Amino acid sequence: MIDLPRKTLFDLPDGVIYLDGNSLGPLPRGAASRAAQVITDEWGRSLIRAWNSAGWMDLPARVGDRIAALIGAQPGSVATGDTLSVKVFQALDAALKMRPDRRVILSDAGNFPSDLYMAQGLARSLGQEHELRTPAPQDVADAITEDVAAVMLTHVDYRTGRLHDMADITARAHAAGAVMIWDLAHSAGAVPLEIGAVAPEFAVGCTYKFLNGGPGSPAFIHVRPDIVEDIAPVLAGWMGHAAPFAMEPGYRPAPATERMRVGTPPVVQLSLLDAALDVWDGVSMEVVRAAALRLSDLFIAEVEARCPDLALASPRDGAARGSQVSFRFPGGYAAIQALIDRGVIGDFRQPDIMRFGITPLYLDADDIRAAAAAIGEVIGSGAWHDPKYQIRARVT
Amino acid sequence: MIDLPRKTLFDLPDGVIYLDGNSLGPLPRGAASRAAQVITDEWGRSLIRAWNSAGWMDLPARVGDRIAALIGAQPGSVATGDTLSVKVFQALDAALKMRPDRRVILSDAGNFPSDLYMAQGLARSLGQEHELRTPAPQDVADAITEDVAAVMLTHVDYRTGRLHDMADITARAHAAGAVMIWDLAHSAGAVPLEIGAVAPEFAVGCTYKFLNGGPGSPAFIHVRPDIVEDIAPVLAGWMGHAAPFAMEPGYRPAPATERMRVGTPPVVQLSLLDAALDVWDGVSMEVVRAAALRLSDLFIAEVEARCPDLALASPRDGAARGSQVSFRFPGGYAAIQALIDRGVIGDFRQPDIMRFGITPLYLDADDIRAAAAAIGEVIGSGAWHDPKYQIRARVT
């Protein structure tokens, strides 16, 4: 087993403490050279032949198996490609078709908006026969009634870091006859997961956060092996066909989870992700989790000692929290800009959330203390009042 | 105006004549360094800040405008991202919603299978109320009846290279009250297009063929500006929201074609594509087309003079042909393998099609003559009978 942090495996800029790996993970050292190899050697030299000679065709499944290992799912149960929003759509359409007599999609008000939007778009396309219910996160468990077709939740709340009890909610969903879909955007690479044992029908996630796959890295979808063969995918693309190069006029789904593939895979981004996953070799997710909780508790204590105006937005109990710590502060947007100016990178979420990702692969206690000191300085000195920090960028 | 070919703009391997740019375009010289810059500098150094500082957020629209220029569409009318199959799905769902009283999707038997599969998947998801009709390509124009909701065709047939008369079919579709969707997979970067003047409601395409964006390069979708504001996208992802970072609970579409964006854009692949599009600077598509026809006619003549057993599968009339030449030959698969072994790279399509892309950006008459000579040698000598050429690879 390997000790943390593993800073040498990342290409981190000098003078930066990076607390935004929950939004975009940093560059793993091997990734750039792998991309160069794929572009210059595989594409450049082998051209079309690389689909076979460089294994491009099987790359999505190989990367899927590596992700399966990180989320506690069995090999062959994870397909990669597309964006997380598209994978949410695939899972939700399949779930609704599994429960044709039910009309409710249950999510929560803390879910990432794109998941809700995709549900709205699907319901609209299907004729508005489905109702999307979004109670408060803490009320979801009791809202799983027998009219619910699908429970669709993000495991870790993107604003507060609040963690749903995945096993309990999944069991309740199944007891009520509902299909369970978990979005692992803020869980994969952050907390130990036992998707195989918990046994939701679907789990989806992105790979550019805690999995460090780079900007726009492809998404993944897990389908429970006992149900996958019954799914007729809505996005019936040729790469999910049983024989893509037979060029048959009719769609026949590929075996198992391969049917959730859609179009031509993004080979360069998938290769970057493949290289990025190397940083997990020999790493125990339990060790990561324990370190994240130690660092998070330290961060909360250090910030609260300095900044009485910041209100903890995340659960104080580490067991109820993912791998991020959020504070509410009315000047949060400007304070985050002032911190970025000082090399401490977190991010801001509407309406007043200062959000900090805690990633023990490349952060240690000294980083956490230095970050907290910078927060104390920015808030205590009033530096965030500087007009230059009030200008909103397009991406916040 | 710049003369063709522009071989120095491509990083082509020695000893190869590449006649498969209609499947995967070769590596443009500037692309590798652009990818390295995005990965090492933008991602590595700027991290999350690069969404603003490196312009990642606007990259899909900037690339879309460059594609718009190549297909004769107006700026702002092309969105990029996802795969072509997903873009077909978006267009078709929107088209069906525009004609709620009609139940027929008209395509043709020569369409690329994934387009047909996506139509089948959408129809299944919507409750099998739609019928997919696929007459022979030459019979489509007369099959546009007043029960047709959407005509969905690929402009250039992927096997034969046969070109649909885009203006005529679009006019007939509109006269019958149908919505027109053109798939430009084998047209963009191959033939002059006037999408704005022809005015189909939708045009979609991929960018890894004649646009040389690399393996898995993102797709594009054009929506006619006068109808786009009425579209409620089925794939209602956050990047197509009017205010993605407001994190509103309800979906509100972004203005114009931006609403066809779905999830987080594949920044690295989009940047590769952006760099690849530099090879078109100063190039007239009419000049490309004229050169492609000269080279294609030469290729047909040279091959037919040597190989009486090969039957031309493409239209003999250049005006009816895209930028590829196909021959039928019972031993086509093995013959293509033997040619690849000799550095002449084409590809094979079921059941007996030997397919050769004619790409004047990096091919000249000497290449065409040498390729024809190699075909003559492989067929004439019987070299393709060698058992090593009979072994089928996964991707053919």
B302-346 residue pLDDT tens: 999 999 999 999 999 999 999 999 999 999 999 999 999 999 999
A347-349 and B311-312: which strand pairing? Answer: unpaired
Contacting A residues, span 169-198, partner chain B, CB-CB under 8 Å: none
A157–chain B nearest CA distance, Å: 13
Residue A369 has a CB neighbour count (10 Å cut-off) of: 14
Over residues A78-131, the pLDDT tens digits come to 999 999 999 999 999 999 999 999 999 999 999 999 999 999 999 999 999 999
Instruction: List chain B residues with CB under 8 Å of A207.
Output: none
Q: Does B309 touch chain A (CB under 8 A)?
A: no
Tell whether the model's pLDDT for residue B95 goes beyond 90. Answer: yes
Give Cβ neighbours of residue B211 (< 8 Å, ≥ 6 apart). Answer: B25, B67, B70, B188, B189, B217, B273, B276, B277
A159–chain B nearest CA distance, Å: 10
Give the nearest partner residue to A395 out of B232, B234, B245, using CB atoms. B245
Over residues B3-54, the pLDDT tens digits come to 899 999 999 999 999 999 999 999 999 999 999 999 999 999 999 999 999 9
Residue B393 confidence (pLDDT): 79
Q: Which residue has the tokens 């000191």?
A: A373
Residue A11 confidence (pLDDT): 96
- Angle in degrees, 0-180, between the axes of helices A285-306 and A365-380, rounded to the nearest 10: 30
Looking at residues B67-79, what average pLDDT do you find? 98
Domains with residue ranges and CATH for chain A? 30-280 (3.40.640.10), 284-389 (3.90.1150.10)
Q: Rounded mean pLDDT of chain A?
A: 97
Q: Which of B159, B162, B172, B209 is catalytic?
A: B209
Whether residues A269 and B270 touch (CB distance < 8 A) is answered with no
Q: Which of B329, B355, B362, B367 is catalytic?
A: B355
Give the nearest partner residue to A251 out of B120, B219, B233, using CB atoms. B120
Whether residues B82 and A20 touch (CB distance < 8 A) is answered with no
Tell whether the model's pLDDT for residue B395 goes beyond 90. Answer: no
- Check residue B158 and report its DSSP letter: T
- Angle in degrees, 0-180, between the axes of helices B285-306 and B365-380, rounded to the nearest 10: 30
CA B78 to CA A163: how far, in whole Å? 39
Minimal-distance CA residue of chain B relative to A33 = B36
The amino acid occupying position B250 is: G
**A154 φ/ψ angles, rounded to the nearest 5 degrees:** -95, 130
Residue A363 confidence (pLDDT): 98
Contact (Cβ atoms closer than 8 angstroms) between residue A196 and residue A185: no
pLDDT band at A391 (very low <50, low <70, confident <90, very high): confident
Give the nearest partner residue to A215 out of B40, B89, B267, using CB atoms. B267
Give the nearest partner residue to A216 out of B118, B268, B347, using CB atoms. B268
pLDDT above 90 as % of chain A: 97
CA A117 to CA A85: how far, in whole Å? 9
Catalytic residues of A: 112, 183, 208-209, 355
Over residues A23-71, the pLDDT tens digits come to 999 999 999 999 999 999 999 999 999 999 999 999 999 999 999 999 9
pLDDT band at A2 (very low <50, low <70, confident <90, very high): low
Tell whether the model's pLDDT for residue A395 goes beyond 90. Answer: no
- Check residue B208 and report its DSSP letter: S
Tell whether the model's pLDDT for residue A157 goes beyond 80. Answer: yes
Residue B177 has a CB neighbour count (10 Å cut-off) of: 15
Clarify whether B97 is annotated catalytic: no
B148-154 and B131-133: which strand pairing? Answer: unpaired
Contact (Cβ atoms closer than 8 angstroms) between residue A157 and residue A185: no
Give Cβ neighbours of residue A176 (< 8 Å, ≥ 6 apart). Answer: A144, A145, A146, A148
Over residues A291-314, the pLDDT tens digits come to 999 999 999 999 999 999 999 999
Tell whether the model's pLDDT for residue A143 goes beyond 70. Answer: yes
- Angle in degrees, 0-180, between the axes of helices B59-71 and B267-276, rounded to the nearest 10: 40
**SS3 call for A125:** helix
B196–chain A nearest CA distance, Å: 27
Looking at residues B118-147, what average pLDDT do you find? 98
Contacting A residues, span 75-114, partner chain B, CB-CB under 8 Å: 81-86, 89, 93, 97, 109, 112-114
Give the nearest partner residue to A232 out of B124, B246, B262, using CB atoms. B124
Contact (Cβ atoms closer than 8 angstroms) between residue A374 and residue A339: yes
Whether residues A245 and B47 touch (CB distance < 8 A) is answered with no
Looking at residues A322-349, what average pLDDT do you find? 97
Instruction: List chain B residues with CB under 8 Å of A237.
Output: 83, 85-86, 114, 117-118
pLDDT band at A392 (very low <50, low <70, confident <90, very high): confident
Q: Which residue has the tokens 């991309």?
A: A35
Rounded to an integer, what is the distance from CA A66 to the centroid of its chain?
Answer: 15
Over residues B236-292, the pLDDT tens digits come to 999 999 999 999 999 999 999 999 999 999 999 999 999 999 999 999 999 999 999
Contact (Cβ atoms closer than 8 angstroms) between residue B310 and residue B302: no
Tell whether the model's pLDDT for residue B396 goes beyond 70. Answer: no
Cα torsion angle, A360, A362, A366, A367, sign: negative
Q: Give, for B220, the enclosing helix (H) or strand (E).
A: strand B220-223
Contacting B residues, span 257-276, partner chain A, CB-CB under 8 Å: 262-270, 272
**SS3 call for B229:** coil
Q: Choosing among A52, A114, A183, A352, which should be mutated to test the B contact, i.e. which has the most B CBs within 10 A?
A: A114
Which one, of B83, B76, B39, lies nearest residue B183 by Cα?
Answer: B83
CA B299 to CA B302: how far, in whole Å? 5
A203 strand-pairing partners: A182, A222
Q: Does B51 touch chain A (CB under 8 A)?
A: yes
Clarify whether B89 is annotated catalytic: no
Q: What is the DSSP string of B1-45?
A: ---S--GGGB-PPTT-EE--TTTS---BHHHHHHHHIIIIIIIII
Whether residues B349 and A206 touch (CB distance < 8 A) is answered with no
Q: Choosing among A262, A355, A391, which should be mutated to test the B contact, i.e. which has the most B CBs within 10 A?
A: A262
Residue B368: both structure tokens together: 């065409």
Tell whether the model's pLDDT for residue B1 goes beyond 60. Answer: no
Tell me if ipTM is over 0.90. yes
Residue A396 confidence (pLDDT): 62
Q: Which residue has the tokens 């063709």?
A: B4
Determine the Cα angle at B294 with ends B288 and B298, to 5°: 140
Residue B392 confidence (pLDDT): 84
B359–chain A nearest CA distance, Å: 15
Question: With 0-12 CB in 10 A as exposed, 13-18 as middle and 19+ as buried, what is A377?
Answer: middle
Please state whether B82 falls in left (phi above 0), alpha (psi between -120 and 50) or beta: left
